[in-house]
């Protein structure tokens, strides 16, 4: 017999806003095949609506009692009821864009500060990286310009060698033709000389 699915509506208190808690709850729910949603409330609490089998929901409730450097769940109040089946997955319910941007910035500042930095210095770091990239681009352009100049010189040398080769080839052909004519002339002279000697012998 299949266990009946339930709905847990959980209100969480503590340092759970602007800390990445909603995303952590969503990842946990999806990993555990729990459906529902999570949202921030105006009183700094977080509300989770979760549907699934009782055993899975109990494990899920334990798993989202997170205590890390940035997230600290202090209290949980749970109301149990029957599942409605209205959820196809587990999603984060967002508010207006301005609030979500502020939450994102505050979360980033908290995590970045724990690394010994300040979000305000991040812009300077990014600009420094940009300057290094610009410098690298300039060096690269200069390097390619130098290569282009060297390639042009090599190209001119090769072109000159090709022209010299063509001239030498033409000279070789002309010399061969001249040698051929000289050889033909010598053969003719030899034949004519032999013919004259034969005529004198007959006489």
Higher pLDDT, 169 or 146: 169
pLDDT digits (tens, 9 = 90+) for 1-54: 456 899 999 999 999 999 999 999 999 999 999 999 999 999 899 999 999 999
Q: Share the mean pLDDT of the chain.
A: 78
pLDDT of residue 114: 64
pLDDT digits (tens, 9 = 90+) for 185-196: 776 777 777 665
pLDDT digits (tens, 9 = 90+) for 166-175: 766 776 677 6
pLDDT band at 120 (very low <50, low <70, confident <90, very high): low
Provide mean pLDDT across the span 91-113: 77
Q: Taking the model in full, what pTM does it have?
A: 0.54
Kindly report the length of the chain: 203
pLDDT band at 176 (very low <50, low <70, confident <90, very high): confident
Q: Which of 32-46, 96-110, 134-148 has the highest mean pLDDT?
A: 32-46
pLDDT of residue 26: 97
Give CA–CA dist 109/125, Å, rounded: 15
Detail the DSSP E strand segments found in 57-197. Answer: 72-82, 90-93
- Report yes or no: 119 and 108 within 8 Å, Cβ to Cβ: yes
Give CA–CA dist 135/141, Å, rounded: 10
């Amino acid at each position: 017999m299949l266990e009946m699915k339930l709905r847990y509506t959980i209100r969480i208190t503590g340092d759970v806003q602007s800390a990445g808690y909603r995303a952590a709850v969503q990842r946990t729910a999806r990993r555990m095949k729990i459906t529902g949603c999570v949202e921030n409330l105006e009183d700094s609490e977080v509300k989770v609506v979760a549907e699934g089998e009782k055993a899975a929901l109990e494990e899920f409730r334990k798993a989202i009692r997170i205590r890390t450097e940035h997230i600290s769940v202090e209290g949980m109040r749970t109301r149990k009821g029957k599942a409605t089946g209205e959820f196809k997955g587990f999603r984060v319910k967002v508010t207006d864009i301005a609030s979500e941007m502020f939450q994102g910035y505050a979360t980033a500042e908290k995590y970045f500060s724990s690394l010994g930095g300040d979000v305000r210095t991040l812009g300077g770091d990014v600009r420094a990286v940009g300057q290094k990239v610009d410098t690298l681009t300039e060096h690269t352009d200069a390097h390619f310009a130098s290569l282009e100049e060297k390639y042009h010189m090599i190209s001119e040398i090769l072109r000159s060698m090709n022209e010299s080769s063509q001239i030498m080839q033409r000279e070789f052909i002309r010399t061969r033709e001249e040698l051929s004519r000289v050889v033909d002339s010598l053969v003719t002279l030899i034949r004519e000389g032999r013919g004259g000697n034969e005529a004198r012998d007959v006489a």
